[in-house]
Homo-oligomer: A and B are copies of this chain.
Amino acid sequence: MTIYDISEKAGVSIATVSRVLNGSSNVSEKTKKKVLDVINKYEYTPNAFARGLGLNTMKTIGIMCADSSDLYLAKAIYYIEQKLRANGYDSILCCTGYQLENKISSLNLLITKKVDGIILVGSNFIYENDADNKYIADAAAQVPVMLLNAALDAPNVYSVVSDDYTSMYEAAAQMIHSGVRDMIYFYNSNSYSGKKKRAGFQAAMEENKLFVPGRSLQYYQGSHEDIPAMAEHLKELSDKGISFHGIIAADDTLALAAVKYAKAKHLKIPEEISIIGYNNSMLTECCDPPLTSIDNKLETLCQHLISTLLGVLSGNEMPKKTIFSGELVKRGTTR
């Protein structure tokens, strides 16, 4: 869509289109409306304008995350920002919240802002229902889309993921090996990554014939950072007669709540109860004893994601999906 097309479709001269585009007052309201109608209809945006200028790259990457106050997502954004800047790219971030509708409008906003590529941070951008993922494929028709710890099979979409399934499987296997038989999986997310973690835990339990439906998996539905409420939830489970000598948590915040619960019950850690967190965040050292946690190699993931993106932008053939292994970092909350 060029200025010539607008002129033709609006039935006015190019000079008139130019005058409208440049805000000249020397145009009648009626004529202005004709031109703007065509522009709106064909979505002739400043975006197209910039491309026309030969400014094919603004050296800017759009980043989206659901909630920048989530410790894991915040850290990911930090690494991504740093690595983009080191490579001469600016970045702009949209915090979308968890509603699909807002994710779609944020993605459209970034496209309008003429970004060279888009990074979706965290696994909650991918939905079970494939139709709900169309917004990502649509964006990828315009710019490369990178997924951090999520995967989607669509052209121009690239994934870098941590092997959450295996990490959780190994954490559970390790706790079983240490002698705990009745541990629970304490989680609060059913995202792409959340499901893989849960499945890894469940597989290890089932292999050892320790999985008890309705009991081994404990879902917490509440604020993502209200540690006292999470601890209270565990206390209620215990009060209901569900006993457990181990807790594997889907993130470090939930694990800290487990530690808080154990202390309130005067259970010795790790002698009477073992606890494992996930993300190996700064919270592991906020904990007394320090928290055993799974390091999902976030910085490595981010590094790899950026080099893949830069490769794509340079026109190189890059892997569609890359998987990294996590690692259990043993500290004071496990035997």
**CB <8 Å contact, B36 and A21:** no
| Stretch from A51-59, A140-148, A171-179, A211-219 forming part of the interface with B | A51-59
A150 within 8 A of partner (CB):
no
Q: Known contacts A77-B69, A113-B92, A288-B288; is A23 also within 8 Å of B46 by CB?
A: no
Quickly give the copy total for this chain.
Answer: 2
Total contacting residues, chain A, CB less than 8 A: 67
Question: Is the C-beta of A236 less than 8 angstroms from some C-beta in chain B?
Answer: no
Which of A78-86, A184-192, A242-250, A306-314 forms contacts with chain B?
A78-86
Q: Give the docked Cα–Cα distance between A112 and B51 (Å).
A: 15
Interface string of A222-261 (1 = CB under 8 A from B): 0001111000000000000000000000000100100110
A99 — nearest CB in chain B belongs to which residue? Answer: B85
The residue of chain B having its C-beta at the shortest distance from the C-beta of A291 within the complex is B286
- Cα distance A230–B243 in the bound complex, in angstroms: 38
Which of A102-110, A122-130, A160-168, A202-210 binds B?
A102-110
Chain B residues with CB below 8 A from A253, complex form: 282
Q: Please, how many angstroms separate the alpha-carbon atoms of A288 and B333 in the complex?
A: 15
A197 sits at the interface (CB 8 A): no
Check A54 against B23 for contact (C-beta < 8 Å). Answer: yes
A95 within 8 A of B: yes
Distance (Å) between the CB of A158 and the closest chain B CB?
22
Q: Contacts A22-B52, A49-B49: A94 and B102 contacting too (C-beta < 8 A)?
A: no
Query: Which chain A residues in 1-54 approach chain B with CB under 8 Å?
Result: 2-4, 14-15, 17-24, 32, 36, 39, 46-47, 49-54
Is residue A182 contacting chain B, with contact meaning CB distance below 8 A? no
Judge whether A270 is part of the interface by a CB distance below 8 angstroms.
Answer: no
Name the B residues within 8 Å of A226 (CB-CB): 282
CB within 8 Å for A97 and B109 given contacts A53-B36, A288-B263: no
Binding site for B on A (CB under 8 A): 2-4, 14-15, 17-24, 32, 36, 39, 46-47, 49-54, 58, 60, 67-69, 71, 74-75, 77-78, 81-82, 85, 90-95, 97, 102, 105-106, 109-110, 112-114, 225-228, 253, 256, 259-260, 263, 282-283, 285-288
Question: Can you list 17 residue pairs at the A/B interface with Cβ under 8 Å?
Answer: A3-B22, A21-B53, A22-B49, A23-B51, A23-B52, A32-B54, A36-B54, A46-B114, A69-B74, A69-B75, A69-B77, A69-B78, A92-B92, A92-B94, A227-B286, A260-B288, A263-B288
